Structure 1
Amino acid sequence: MGFSTTHLLIFLVIIIVIFGTKKLRNIGSDLGGAVKGFKDGMKEGSDKAADAPAAAPQQVASSATAAKETIDVEAKTKA
């Protein structure tokens, strides 16, 4: 019930005759580019997720520093 090497070669020849080698090459490069783009997107997503927790404490620290530098004054009204 399985495919033999002869069956696969005949199938490949039929596909090449129908689509042509140029079109198959374009399909292969498009598919490869899509896979590469997907992998790069997954890497960027994981890099952003790893960087996000590290960035949050820095922002908290800078707002805490700003709170220390705040000057407290009294408002006087003109009479």
Structure 2
Amino acid sequence: MGSFSIWHWLIVLVIVMLVFGTKKLRNIGQDLGGAVKGFKDGMKDANGNPADAPDAPAKELRDTTTIDVEAKEKSRQQ
């Protein structure tokens, strides 16, 4: 049985393109690439290596509409 030849893979590729269409496959590829890039960026941030990207702007992690309840309660107590 062994591994598939190039012709087997080309036939499988043609069948997949006929079933899903090229646009959907392109979208899946872009989504997968974005997920991998986000994972790599997250791992870089988790390791604490900001020196790897000194030109990168600081990311705003908090949403501007988020309300910090603890800070609001502390300000009321004072």
- Stretches of structure 2 that go unaligned for 5 or more consecutive residues are 50-78
Q: TM-score normalised to the size of structure 1?
A: 0.58
Larger RCO, structures 1/2 (Cα 8 Å, 6+ apart): 1
Separation in structure 1 between the aligned mates of residue 25 and residue 45 of structure 2, nearest angstrom = 30
> How many residue pairs get matched?
48
- Stretches of structure 1 that go unaligned for 5 or more consecutive residues are 49-79
Between Structure 1 and Structure 2, the one with more helix by share is: 1
Q: Please give the per-residue CA displacement for 1:15-54, whole angstroms capped at 9, x wherever unaligned.
A: 0000000000000000000000000000000117xxxxxx
Q: TM-score normalised to the size of structure 2?
A: 0.59
Q: Which runs of 4+ in 1 moved over 3 A?
A: none
Report what 1:14 is aligned to. 15
* Structure with bigger gyration radius: 1
3-state SS of paired residue (1:27): helix
RMSD: 1.1
